[in-house]
Amino acid sequence: MARLFSEVNKGRVRMRHKRRKSSPFPFNNAGARFSVSFAVWICVFLVLFIYFNSQITEKTDGKLIRVHPNHLSVTHELEDIEEEPNFRLPPPHKRNPRAVKRRGFKKKPPAYSEFLDESSELHSVLFPDRRLAVGPNAGNDSSSTGYFYPGHVWLDTDGNPIEAHGGGILFDDRRKTYYWYGENKDAATYHAQPKGTARVDIIGVSCYSSKNLWSWKYEGIVLRGEQQNVTHDLYKTNVLERPKVIYNSKTNQYVMWMHIDDGNYTKASVGVAISKSPTGPFTYLYSMRPHGSDSRDMTLFKDDDGRAYLIYSARDNVDFHIGPLTEDYLGLTGVMKKILVRQHREAPAVFKHGGTYYMITSGCSGWAPNRAMAHAAASIMGPWENVGNPCVGGNRVLRLTTFFSQSTFVLPLPGLPGSFIFMADRWNPSNLRDSRYVWLPLKVGSLADEPMDYSFGFPLWSRVSIFWHKRWRLPEGWKNVN
């Protein structure tokens, strides 16, 4: 009997031991559930605290400064989501059944590509009539003064359409003036080859100046095309695209880089020009293939420490390459990194916020618009990761076509940390001189909604949002918000 009681007691001890081992916590189940719930809520609180704190701080020159609540209120209107009714897509063209049988089925072009055709019913929506032009001398009523109308003809202070396509903006701190440089396409559109891309002869790079980013004074053509010397890079039948200008304080020179190509797009190089004045004239120096690679769509980025970088699409737009410029900004160092490998992107526009680098790119579809993509990196040299489509508002077609435009530059707004202007071109391949500008508010903030490249699906970067507006303006006193 004693032996039996001994065995029973041993069994109870083993059962109690097993029960203890089966529980991950050294207390009862009710306490465990309470502790887990408490821990979860603590984690949620910490995440929210860190997030909201990040929304009201800004990193400048390595120091965190508190963003005044007024900054948030003055930009609230720009972040309103403005919806648009869905477009009525044109019906598909009917095809002769015999032709289909003889030639086979062809892949249908995207429906939105028809919108770029002047015969399309929606062409007038995308390219409003000249009578609806905006600008200081457009003849509009005073209620339109200072408002941006994406896609409308934009007039300069002389009443002429602004010609600065594929361009970028330089703020000259010494003159407290903005300078907008871009391609002058005020010439006839033609096709050099029967199936070649639409183009115009090189006229040159236009320059406009402004104090308020809305009223622009024409400063002239600061880099002219070459009319006589057929061997010159800027000979009229060649290609000059996407000029960008930065200032070098060490050499006191304004340096322009641009995409240089021949009529068949086989040269695929970058060109360099310099000037002592932001309004030119610029002296063209030379062209080269950066890092020994082909180069097409490109941009420049000047960092807070004065270092400048060239970012360009390479290997027939398969990858992007990035590399630092020399100290005088006239050449490249031997350092180069491949980024966005095999992603087939173009039209880069790079900017920085809170110590993080961001970039907007487009897909490769010629003059036709496509879906934009935002990218982010902790270092300008990468690695870069995708953070999704930045377009917000409008309708599905607008968001999938970057509001029928293609990125060219992102301009920071002084006094409003995290607020930028997204600059893009709405190309009109049937009449390139009538291509329009799409400027929209861009905001960095909130979590990304498309965590594509992140470990465990957790987004490391803030969301980049480009907000659609038919009509918008900069907040009052945007340059001196305190």
In sequence order, what are the residues at sequence separation of 6 or more whose Cβ sits closer than 8 angstroms to the Cβ of residue 335? 323, 324, 381
Q: Does residue 441 sit in helix, strand or coil?
A: strand
Q: Could you give the CA distance from residue 113 to residue 258 in angstroms, rounded to a whole number?
A: 28
Q: What is the pLDDT of residue 412?
A: 96
Q: What is the pLDDT of residue 462?
A: 85
- Residues present in the chain in total: 482
Question: Which phi and psi angles does 397 have, rounded to 5°?
Answer: -65, -40
Q: What is the pLDDT of residue 287?
A: 98
Q: What is the pLDDT of residue 479?
A: 74
Q: Could you give the CA distance from residue 424 to residue 288 in angstroms, rounded to a whole number?
A: 26
Question: Across-strand partners of 443?
Answer: 419, 465
Average pLDDT, 10 consecutive residues per value, the chain (482 residues): 46 44 43 58 58 45 42 65 72 50 52 67 87 87 83 96 98 96 97 87 98 97 97 97 98 98 95 98 98 97 98 97 98 97 97 96 93 96 95 93 97 91 96 97 73 50 92 81 40
